[in-house]
């Protein structure tokens, strides 16, 4: 057989073996670079670009940072050349699964000893969100998490936080205390005036009901701030 024929027959097999999906199966996901993992989700490229090249475009649109990619909406991803609505939705779903896996073991049973425990539990799920989420951790007398409650999603506004909703759930769960936690999409966890107003409002309601607010932790990008560490405390 001529050398050219050998080349033609061998090249497709090598190409198939080195595709990201096949590399993932053969070597495991940890052996793949981010661009290859994204390409594996994309599946097939376009007539003019491979899946890896399309993955490079996605990373370029996020300055090469996975933390920025994790904040992109399906609409934003679909605007990248080579990505359609279905593929964009698949990418967003994969990123959301990653966030949930990071906190799956912390649904109940975690003991909260301080703000670092709150960060370890909630940071992976909240730090890359594109909008604010305000949660309450309901604790028993030993400060073990009984339940996690999503209070509100969107811009934090004291007028939209209803203490009766938070504390009604706390009473139903038999909670002895509450820890508040929310994220700042900007990445800067410094408390705002509105953060302080919400904290004062809920702390006052907790004192009246005998279910104290132990802390309010603000999640940033790779860091956090806790009201318990502030001079005035939770208030």
Question: What is the CATH number for 145?
Answer: 3.40.140.10
- How confident is the model at residue 104, as a pLDDT? 57
The pTM (predicted TM-score) of the whole model is: 0.64
- How confident is the model at residue 166, as a pLDDT? 84
74, 134: one domain = no
Range of the domain at 183: 107-229
> Could you give the number of structural domains in the chain?
2
Q: What is the pLDDT along the chain (235 residues), one digit of tens a residue?
A: 455 444 444 444 444 446 888 888 888 888 888 999 999 999 888 888 899 999 999 999 988 888 789 888 899 999 999 999 999 999 999 988 887 776 555 445 688 999 999 999 999 889 888 889 999 999 999 999 999 988 888 876 666 677 887 899 999 999 999 999 999 999 999 999 999 999 999 999 999 999 999 999 999 998 999 999 988 888 7
Round to whole Å and give the CA distance between 168 and 107: 20
34, 126: one domain = no
Round to whole Å and give the CA distance between 191 and 198: 11
- The verdict on residue 67 lying in a domain is yes
- How confident is the model at residue 31, as a pLDDT? 85
92, 137: one domain = no
- How confident is the model at residue 100, as a pLDDT? 73
- How confident is the model at residue 109, as a pLDDT? 65
Question: What is the CATH number for 32?
Answer: 1.10.150
25, 127: one domain = no
């Amino acid at each position: 057989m001529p050398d050219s024929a050998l080349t033609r027959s061998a090249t497709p097999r090598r190409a198939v073996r080195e595709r990201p999906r096949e590399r993932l199966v053969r070597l495991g996901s940890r052996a793949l670079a981010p661009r290859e993992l994204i390409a594996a989700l994309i599946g097939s490229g376009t007539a003019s670009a491979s899946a890896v090249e399309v993955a490079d475009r996605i990373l370029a649109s996020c300055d090469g940072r996975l933390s920025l990619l994790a904040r992109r909406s399906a609409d934003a991803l679909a605007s990248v050349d080579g990505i359609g609505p279905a593929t964009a939705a698949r990418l967003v779903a994969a990123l959301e699964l990653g966030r949930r896996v990071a906190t799956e073991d912390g649904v109940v049973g975690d003991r909260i000893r301080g703000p670092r425990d709150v960060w370890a539990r909630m940071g992976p799920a909240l730090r890359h969100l594109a909008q604010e989420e305000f949660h309450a951790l309901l604790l028993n007398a030993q400060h073990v998490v009984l339940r996690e409650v999503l209070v509100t999603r969107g811009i934090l506004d004291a007028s939209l936080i209803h203490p009766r909703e938070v504390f009604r759930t706390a009473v139903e769960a038999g909670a002895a205390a509450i820890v508040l936690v929310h994220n700042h999409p900007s990445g800067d966890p410094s408390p705002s005036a509105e953060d302080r107003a919400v904290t004062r409002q809920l702390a006052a309601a907790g004192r009246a009901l005998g279910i104290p607010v132990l802390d309010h932790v603000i999640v940033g990008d790779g860091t956090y701030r806790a009201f318990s560490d502030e001079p005035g405390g939770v208030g």
